Amino acid sequence: MSTNTLRERSAIPVEYTWDTESVYTDIAAWEAAMNEVRSRIPQASAYQGRLHEGPTVLADCLDYATKLYRDAVRIYMYAALEYNVDSDSQAAAARSGRGQSLLSETAAALAFIDAELMQIGFATLHAWVTREPRLADYAHYIRKLEDRSDHVRSAEVEELLGQVNDPFGTASGIHGVLVNADLTFEPARTQEDDPIEIGQSTYQTLIISPDREVRRTAWNHYADAHMAYKNTMAACLLTGVKQNVFTARARRYDSALDAALAPNQIPPEVFYNLIETYRKHLPTWHRYWRVRAKAMGLETLREYDLKAPLTEQPHIPYEQAVEWIAQGMAPLGETYVETLRRGCQEERWVDIYPNKGKRTGAFSWGGPGTHPFIMMSYTDDLYSLSTLAHELGHSLHSYLSWENQPLVNTDYSLFAAEVASNFNQAMVRDYLFKLNDDRDFQIAVIEEAMANFHRYFFIMPTLARFELAIHEQVERGDAFNADGLIEQMADLLAEGYGDGVTMDRARSGTMWMQFSSHLYSNFYVYQYATGIAGANALAQQVLTDDADAAERYLNFLRAGGSLYPLDALELAGIDLRTPAAVEAAFDVLAGLVDRLESLVA
């Protein structure tokens, strides 16, 4: 496939796209489903003010609410899937907006439930759970509500907070439209001065090009396009942070960080341990920059050299990637592997290749009643293979959760999710190291691993520090502007680069603009780093002679949202309440640097 020109969405063969027809056969069916769900929303009033009547009424209400919300999510998901792969389509954008509004309308209509449950009292609720079999599925939901009961407001306030979900998505939405639809990029250039189109779905491929001029111009022009909208993006981000602070205060949390951690029973020490351990091990990154510079014959790296190939990258078609991923995941058993194969090869879980208007990045999505959907931009290399393995980790986590948990317990936290995705990458990477001992192949696998660690164990902790700083600014009553944000970002990166990377501070500081979805989700990014730490610890258990490790890990996936994430991971065999797993992941990172140094010596 050519990297010089992006194809229109309509030019992508259907077999390489995901089958959203399995959700709704067409737009008309989606419209009908939306009307049907909207007609069910008023039925919530039949339960409002009545939950105290007894366990039967409560079970009826909770069953109604979970199914209604599931169907509203499905409607939004269908529209958002279409928009994510064709953000130039105004019709797709409009449907996505309508779906999001319906979801917010649904949440507002159901907002009375938690407040009324608290009025009943938790001793009574626990007793009802034992009396009414249908309430057994809601036992963990009630426990979670009890744990956060100090932060649930009256029914009127909860309804209002539910209603603001839709307008509160506006800042993030504007940022997303800017970066995915409105940004225009000056083409990258080859050494021969040939132009190469830059798109959100192809940028990552360009910055791993063996042609340094392609990397340099792609990196510069990508940053410059964001810089042109720096003031708008800063205003959006300030609005998003203010919304986080408002919501935290409305729910009587001490801070936005506390509001992000407390609902999942994650102690603040988990966040701060990550940051402190990351800073402690920055010399490992500094050593890596030196090894990479030496291998490239450079005195010092530029930021567009951080993912430059040190050897020829192997060509890996999508079908080969699926096969190697399946082999790497074999220790989890035949059922896991066959489900993975079926999703990739028969059921069209994956929207595979790049096209014009396709948003940046990759994700896995879905819900009970659908199969998982994976969006990515596959480019026939190890990086794409790794991304596919990562998203399949999410997808199989969801699949097993939906298969084993009642509807109310199928959603799991990002904290747990990023363990499952990075676990797959660690397992497949181990398989690839054993598959081929050719020096160039080994270096290529290390490069992919380091690129993954760079994103999750360098960029994400850096963004987490940035996120903490800007939330604390707003909580003190201070504001921020684009130039200040660029300086803050550049300072944090400079600490991570040490003397091994020569910076272009103005362009480096645009990094916060390039993570349009991440920084609008309150303290989201640190969980990528804890996820890769937990994943590597669990993979080591499965890959050693621990006979029960694979089944423990599968039980973690099957648990879905039925346990708090730290408890679910403890079930799998690790404790992320301490920095031990983060320390162990840095040991893995240091081992990769050692291995690379010996290979390129």
Report the C-alpha gap between 65 and 74 in whole angstroms: 14
Question: Looking at residue 371, what is its pLDDT?
Answer: 97
Question: Looking at residue 38, what is its pLDDT?
Answer: 97
> What's the CATH number where 40 sits?
1.20.140.70
> Do residues 125 and 132 make contact, with C-beta atoms less than 8 angstroms apart?
no
User: Exposed, middle or buried, 8 (CB in 10 Å: 0-12/13-18/19+)?
Assistant: exposed
Asked if residue 191 belongs to a domain, the reply is: no
Averaged pLDDT score across all residues of the chain: 94
Statement: the pTM of the whole predicted model exceeds 0.95: no
Asked if residue 380 belongs to a domain, the reply is: no
Question: Looking at residue 178, what is its pLDDT?
Answer: 86
Asked if residue 125 belongs to a domain, the reply is: yes
Q: Which amino acid is at 597?
A: E
Average pLDDT score over residue span 560-571: 96
Question: Looking at residue 1, what is its pLDDT?
Answer: 37
Give pLDDT tens digits for 366-392.
999 999 999 999 999 999 999 999 999
Whether residue 160 has pLDDT greater than 90: no
Whether residue 505 has pLDDT greater than 50: yes
Q: How confident is the model at residue 3 (pLDDT cuts 50, 70, 90)?
A: very low
**HEC profile for 97-140?**
HHHHHHHHHHHHHCCHHHHHHHHHCHHHHHHHHHHCHHHHHHHH
Q: How confident is the model at residue 215 (pLDDT cuts 50, 70, 90)?
A: very high
Asked if residue 156 belongs to a domain, the reply is: yes
Give pLDDT tens digits for 306-326.
999 999 989 999 999 999 999
Report the C-alpha gap between 569 and 572 in whole angstroms: 5
Nearest Cα to Cα of residue 183 among 454, 590, 516: 516
> Do residues 408 and 141 make contact, with C-beta atoms less than 8 angstroms apart?
yes
Question: Looking at residue 6, what is its pLDDT?
Answer: 82
Q: Which of 66-70, 171-175, 345-349, 485-489 comes out lowest in average pLDDT?
A: 171-175
Per mean pLDDT, which of 198-207, 329-338, 507-516, 542-551 is the most reliable?
A: 329-338
Give pLDDT tens digits for 440-482.
999 999 999 999 999 999 999 999 999 999 999 999 999 899 9
Report the C-alpha gap between 386 and 204 in whole angstroms: 13
User: Running DSSP on this structure, what letter comes out for residue 189?
Assistant: E
Asked if residue 266 belongs to a domain, the reply is: no
Whether residue 359 has pLDDT greater than 90: no
Question: Looking at residue 181, what is its pLDDT?
Answer: 81
Give pLDDT tens digits for 240-266.
999 999 999 999 999 999 999 999 999
**Structural domain span for residue 72:** 9-168
Question: Looking at residue 4, what is its pLDDT?
Answer: 53
Asked if residue 157 belongs to a domain, the reply is: yes
Nearest Cα to Cα of residue 557 among 324, 351, 319, 340: 340
Report the C-alpha gap between 34 and 67 in whole angstroms: 14
Question: Looking at residue 205, what is its pLDDT?
Answer: 86
Name the domain count of the chain: 1
Task: Identify which has the larger pLDDT, 180 or 573.
Answer: 573
Q: CB-side exposure of 142: number of CA atoms within 13 Å?
A: 24
> Do residues 136 and 129 make contact, with C-beta atoms less than 8 angstroms apart?
yes
Catalytic residues: 391
Report the C-alpha gap between 237 and 141 in whole angstroms: 32
Average pLDDT score over residue span 81-109: 94
Asked if residue 13 belongs to a domain, the reply is: yes
- What is the maximal distance between C-alpha atoms in the chain? 77
Give pLDDT tens digits for 28-55.
999 999 999 999 999 999 999 999 999 9
Asked if residue 227 belongs to a domain, the reply is: no
Task: Identify which has the larger pLDDT, 495 or 516.
Answer: 495
Whether residue 2 has pLDDT greater than 60: no
Question: Looking at residue 295, what is its pLDDT?
Answer: 94
Q: How confident is the model at residue 519 (pLDDT cuts 50, 70, 90)?
A: confident
Report the C-alpha gap between 373 and 20 in whole angstroms: 9
Report the C-alpha gap between 145 and 138 in whole angstroms: 10
